Structure 1
Amino acid sequence: MTGEEMTGTYRNPVLNADWSDPDVIRVGEDFYLTVSTFTKVPGLPILHSRDLVNWTIIGHAVTSGYDDVRPGCGVWAPSLRHQDGRFWIFYGDPDVGICQVNAEDPRGPWSEPRVVKEGLGLIDPCPLWDDDGQAYLVHGWAKSRAGINNRLTLHRMSPDAQKVLDDGTLIIDADLLPGYRTLEGPKLYKRDGVYWVFAPAGGVENGWQSVFRAESIFGPYEDRIVLRQGGTDVNGPHQGGWVDTPSGEHWFMHFQDRGPYGRVVHLQPMTWNGGWPVMGADGEPVPGGPVPVPGGAPSTPATSDDFSGPELGLQWSWQANPVPSWWELRDGTLRLACAPGPDDLTQRPSVLGQRLPGDPCTVTTTLTLEGEGRAGLAVVGDTAASIALESTPDGTFLVCGDAEPVPAKAGEPVTVGARIGEGALVTFLADTGEGLREVGESFQATQGRWVGAVIGLFAAGGGTGQAIFDAFTVDIER
């Protein structure tokens, strides 16, 4: 237990890894959160908390995606809501349209995705069921597909969320607002008869959080910037969700883009002054504070995995739709087939990865390579590097970048690992009988397309070999 947990305080970021574009709701005394996952499979993870600080992964809302790796595509920023006893997630796939999935239980099963509005460049949707039974849907635009952005469109929607009912109304044109660019990510709310659109602008690295209010859902809306970096070291604090506690306090969860670490999640107190929300400390991010709901049990999303369960841990995802023959859990080990595929790990669907921790850490696993192939531990973003065992006609070798291959005994286990230091600088490690030692040159992890780097496992080849991984251990430095 950390000092913060013992004293009832928290430290930002509360989710220190790539939990991108978060949205959060409360149902009773439980908080739920989901994030964008682009082409990761499974996607749309569901996280649960009792205090907005300690979170666990409880499931996924989308279980399939593309058959090949398509960086930057797939599931963009979602909205999570609870209506009529069901959980609803709306998300934009910029190459398909606005989709929704729903479930009675946030752990699943979730419905298959349904396209509510078809079209290119439709992103960042959010629904609102109004007091009179009418339903609405707001969304943004991706210029890469639609040719326009910096504006928000509102639709009437069928109350069963099956389709939109009109062609849409432009409710906010940020081209007309001085200094605005890339307005996106809207979240739609109603409070005391006033309609609110919380929307970020300015881009992921250096943007800010604005809110818009109106007496009519169709506007006109007036705006105010309510959260920006200011004198803090939290760049681009924006895009997230507003949530209250059972005791009536208000909070805002948002991301900060940290390059190879992805978009980490911060928690800001929120109060009201003069009819407008005030976030953080007078509109600037706070480093931490009192836990919103005291007394919660310490927890963080899973990282380590001993592979003893009937399924892979919920922290894992593939880079595209997995093939059942790729993997098997047996006798407390993970067995990956040396499957065919691109040598470039950034393009290989059968990389099994998880989010790179935002704190310095050391990751280790013990690997046995049986038969022909190449398998090991990798860090993958826009670029990739790995430490692996490779079977060749001349024998089995430990290989890592441009380092001289080290002979290894065929069919014998070798412990491999990586130390991820400040700035996501990666040093690969191996134990060939003399303890863990550094291997090769350091590698600078890089972000992917809208995502942070992942650390994971792979096995490649002609399909005749297999890699056997013992426990995957992540030791985080606090």
Structure 2
Amino acid sequence: MTYTDPMTYTNPILNADWSDPDVVRVGDDFYLTASSFGRVPGLPLLHSRDLVNWTLVGHALERLEPGAEFAAPRHDCGVWAPSLRHHDDRFWIFWGDPDQGIFQVNAPGIRGPWTRPHLVKAGKGLIDPCPLWDDETGEAYLVHAWAKSRSGIKNRLTGHRMHPDGTSLLDEGKVIVDGDRIPGWFTLEGPKLYRHDGWFWILAPAGGVETGWQGAFRSRGFFGPYEEQIVLEQRDTDVNGPHQGGWVRTPSGEDWFLHFQQKGAYGRVVHLQPMRWGTDGWPVLGDEGAPVAVHRKPDLPEQSAAAPATDDDFPGGRFGRQWQWTANPQDGWATQHSGDGLRLACVRSADAHDLRKLPHVLTQRLPGTPSAVEVDLTLHGEEPGARAGLAVLGDAFGWIGLQRGADGEVHLVHRFAEAVAEKERDADHPRLAPEGRARLRIEIGAGARCRFFYDIGEGPTPSGPVFAATPWRWVGALLGLFALAPAGPGHAGAASFTRFRITPL
């Protein structure tokens, strides 16, 4: 039996892919958002009272625009690192789309209604924006980084004066931190802008997500010059590249820093670090600049254990907030009805043998601890080639499910595709599923190694070899539910999923 001290917490506090987190406090409540890239809905919104236990309460972005460009999966595009702020009795989120520019949305409450995206600055490669409304001067500012893949520029932070209403920038911008001029620094990005103790502060990581560090910059004036320090790095811990996050202060005056750690197929998990201000005026993060694994909880009212939802019974055919499509959804993909269970249409597709190209895959994050994923599936589609299943998606993918054969029979199938493969192939021999239903199970072990099982009425049976989950670019591996059929005319039927569960192993 493992003893857990109720006065401490263990990192990571969010053990799944909540990439590029930013945090804000409003009253006694804390809110967090994260990158969502090409998945829809976007800009997840999480809530906590103690900075340790978080629940998912909604999303700020219903669809990605322009819609035609996100009609198919674009896993490395869309919503890159956002900043979450509260100003003038409204919540504000700014983010960079590397192909379009800097956007913002705002709302009177965290649950909305959120405005439609407003383009603050158009341009290629504009990423990681963060606003600041300076209460001391009444001025507003914005800082952003650059994506070399789109702009040819990197390792620089550009600053602007911003209109106080957050709709536009008031100048052409100036490079306020040039990472090329700092010996040993590279890939400077992800800035978060603050005012503290008479200084302008920028907390920004460098060195890359796998092996980098967290930096701090300060200046008496927004446009510089800035001096820098490294304030968090791996040292002799297991936390590689402690990277990009946000500072928040509790009502009692404690300071805390949330950041991510890149963990391969698990994506970017979130850690909570204690923070204090040293005698030299610089922030000290973690244990004197090294990440903590276990630490005393923040001085906040006790909160019951909580985590973003994973399980789903799909009441009335509706799916929970934890699910996202791999592109902008279309009407008819999921059908509401009077009972429980998710009913997905077998959407016809010319890419029926490559799940990575399909927009109608309903996904959620791969859990970061050893877990078993289960769901019950019934295939209703009568069309030869109609299929549905449970998948692990990344650069490579594997899935197990049901398919209607040319002979009209339903078969249990298990397929996979390597990262370099253009189409899937069998991981095990197909088997008859006489009732047209199956219980599907994936056991996710250490290193995101996945073992597939099925039950077609004879008890759980293992299928095929172990599959090693892989990330997509910038995105951890995903669990997915899908139903599809080969291209052709007319409706191809549907599939029903019931009792989706994720349980610890």
Contact residue 8 and residue 295 of structure 1 kept, 8 A = no
- SS of 1:87's equivalent in the other structure is strand
Q: 1:425-447: per-residue Cα shift (whole Å, max 9, x none)?
A: 11111012222121111111000
Q: How does 1:207-286 map to 2 (within 5 A)?
A: 207-273=212-278, 274-286=280-292
- Mark the runs of 5 or more structure 1 residues left unpaired by the alignment: none
Give the aligned partner of residue 8 of structure 1. 7
Alignment partner of 1:112 is 2:116? yes
Alignment partner of 1:318 is 2:325? yes
Give the aligned partner of residue 73 of structure 1. 77
Residues 3 and 83 of structure 1, relative CA distance in 2, 3 Å threshold: farther
Aligned counterparts of 1:201 and 1:309: Cα–Cα separation in 2: 47
Q: CA deviation at 1:456?
A: 1.5
Q: CA deviation at 1:309?
A: 5.6
Contact residue 317 and residue 341 of structure 2 kept, 8 A = no
**Number of aligned residue pairs:** 475
Q: CA deviation at 1:413?
A: 2.3
Aligned counterparts of 1:158 and 1:309: Cα–Cα separation in 2: 45
Alignment partner of 1:457 is 2:457? no
Q: 1:343-366: per-residue Cα shift (whole Å, max 9, x none)?
A: 211111011000000001001111
Give the aligned partner of residue 188 of structure 2. 183
Alignment partner of 1:304 is 2:304? no
Alignment partner of 1:128 is 2:142? no
Give the aligned partner of residue 340 of structure 2. 332
Q: Which runs of 4+ in 1 moved over 4 A?
A: none
Aligned counterparts of 1:36 and 1:426: Cα–Cα separation in 2: 26
Aligned counterparts of 1:347 and 1:234: Cα–Cα separation in 2: 33
Q: How does 1:52-67 map to 2 (within 5 A)?
A: 52-65=51-64, 66-67=70-71
Q: CA deviation at 1:390?
A: 0.3
- SS of 2:495's equivalent in the other structure is strand
Give the aligned partner of residue 29 of structure 1. 28
Alignment partner of 1:386 is 2:390? no
Aligned counterparts of 2:199 and 2:373: Cα–Cα separation in 1: 49
TM-score (norm 2): 0.92
Q: Percent identity?
A: 57
Aligned counterparts of 1:328 and 1:180: Cα–Cα separation in 2: 52
Give the aligned partner of residue 176 of structure 2. 171
Alignment partner of 1:471 is 2:499? yes
Q: How does 1:280-429 map to 2 (within 5 A)?
A: 280-292=286-298, 293-308=300-315, 311-330=318-337, 331-341=339-349, 342-343=351-352, 344-370=354-380, 371-372=382-383, 373-394=386-407, 395-401=409-415, 402-410=427-435, 412-429=436-453
- Mark the runs of 5 or more structure 2 residues left unpaired by the alignment: 65-69, 416-426
Contact residue 337 and residue 467 of structure 1 kept, 8 A = yes
Alignment partner of 1:198 is 2:203? yes
Contact residue 317 and residue 334 of structure 2 kept, 8 A = no
Aligned counterparts of 1:8 and 1:308: Cα–Cα separation in 2: 37
- SS of 2:303's equivalent in the other structure is coil
TM-score (norm 1): 0.98
Q: 1:192-251: per-residue Cα shift (whole Å, max 9, x none)?
A: 211100000000111100000011111110000000000001000010000011110000
Amino acid at match of 1:203: G
Contact residue 39 and residue 70 of structure 1 kept, 8 A = yes
